[in-house]
């Protein structure tokens, strides 16, 4: 609360100083200007920025996840996806091929970042987000990443309110796996982009049973009766697949 108050006071004093300066400037040609009280020069204000640290742990046995896309955005805007609705092209491209570039371009946000590499099973990564706003009111957080040894599985934190996190506080989520509904889960050689196959990533054809995002049912694998699967038993998982923590640094 004291932080909020001091931010507001700082903002108020900046506005006040600016109006004094502009009055002064209006009077530049006034010979009486020199008689006015001297105005203390005001340095340009430091941009007010919130800072969040995001850490992601991959909880699976054999599913590397693609470089994460993370966003801090307005909590009232559309989420990246909704259960029961068709995936956007940007989400399809991420969920089928691990390519987060279109989502990072398309999705409206106040701050965003990409992980610089995939996160392997048992590994973690940390990103920092500078959010150029004065207060956290109205902010939401989104993170999306593909389970790369699958046809179109992804995990996400989907537009969750982070307004109440004060500096030094954090929130954690255990995230499940979703299916983008854009590619049949046939697990065939040549259809999975991760190291288990090295096959195709994004393909614009939508051939899943329903063209909609749902929870994922997991992979079957050749070890469990799907003889044509390129996946092995180590590629199976259960929910949750990620542990995500967002910590407000300031």
Q: What is the contact surface with other proteins in residues (CB under 8 A)?
A: 83-85, 176-177, 179, 181, 184-187, 209-210, 212-218, 220, 224-228, 238-239
Q: 28: part of which helix (H) or strand (E)?
A: none
Our CB check for other proteins shows the closer of 10 and 184 to be 184
Paired residues of 51 in beta bridges: 130
Residue 209 CB, nearest distance to other proteins (Å)?
A: 5
| Nearest residue (CB) to other proteins, 21 versus 215 | 215
Q: How far is CA 241 from CA 12, 32, 67, 115, 172, in A?
A: 46, 72, 15, 17, 13
For residue 213, the minimal CB distance to other proteins (Å) is: 7
DSSP 116: S
Q: DSSP class of residue 53?
A: E
Sign of CA dihedral 206, 210, 211, 214: negative
Minimum distance of other proteins from residue 60's CB (angstroms): 12
Q: How far apart are the first and last CA of the chain?
A: 13
Q: How far apart are CA 110 and CA 66, in angstroms?
A: 22
Least Å distance, CB 168 to other proteins, is 26
187 alpha carbon, distance to own chain's centre: 28
Of the two residues 23 and 215, which places its CB atom closer to other proteins in the complex?
Answer: 215
Nearer to other proteins, 124 or 210 (CB): 210
41 vs 225, which CB is nearer to other proteins?
225
C-alpha triplet 158, 147, 201: angle, nearest 5°: 110
Please state whether the peptide bond connecting residue 148 to the residue before it is cis, i.e. omega within 30 degrees of 0: no
Rg (CA), the chain: 24
Shortest Cβ distance from residue 83 to other proteins (Å)? 6
Stated as kind and residue range, the H or E segment containing 229 is: none
* Least Å from the CB of residue 90 to other proteins: 20
Pick the closer one to other proteins by CB: 1 or 227. Answer: 227
């Amino acid at each position: 609360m004291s932080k909020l108050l001091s931010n507001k006071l700082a903002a108020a004093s900046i506005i006040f100083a600016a109006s004094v300066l502009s009055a002064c400037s209006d009077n530049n040609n006034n010979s009486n200007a020199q008689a006015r009280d001297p105005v203390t020069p005001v340095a340009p204000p430091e941009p007010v920025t919130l800072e969040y640290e995001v850490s992601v742990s991959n909880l699976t046995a054999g599913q590397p996840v693609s470089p994460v896309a993370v966003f801090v955005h307005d909590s009232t805007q559309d989420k990246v996806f909704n259960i029961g609705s068709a995936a956007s092209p940007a989400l399809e491209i991420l969920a089928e091929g691990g390519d987060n570039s279109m989502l990072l371009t398309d999705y409206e946000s106040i701050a965003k970042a990409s992980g610089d590499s995939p996160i392997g099973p048992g590994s973690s990564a940390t990103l920092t987000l500078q959010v150029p706003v004065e207060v956290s009111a109205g902010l939401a957080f989104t993170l999306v990443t593909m389970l790369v040894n699958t046809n179109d599985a992804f995990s996400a934190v989907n537009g969750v309110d982070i307004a109440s996190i004060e500096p030094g506080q954090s929130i954690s989520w255990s995230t499940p796996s979703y299916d983008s509904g854009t590619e049949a889960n046939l697990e065939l050689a040549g259809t999975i982009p991760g190291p288990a196959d090295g096959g195709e990533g994004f393909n614009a054809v939508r051939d899943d049973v329903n063209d909609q995002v749902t929870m994922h049912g997991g992979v079957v694998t050749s070890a469990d009766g799907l003889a044509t699967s390129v996946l092995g038993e180590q590629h199976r998982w259960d929910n949750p697949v990620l542990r995500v923590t967002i910590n407000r640094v300031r």
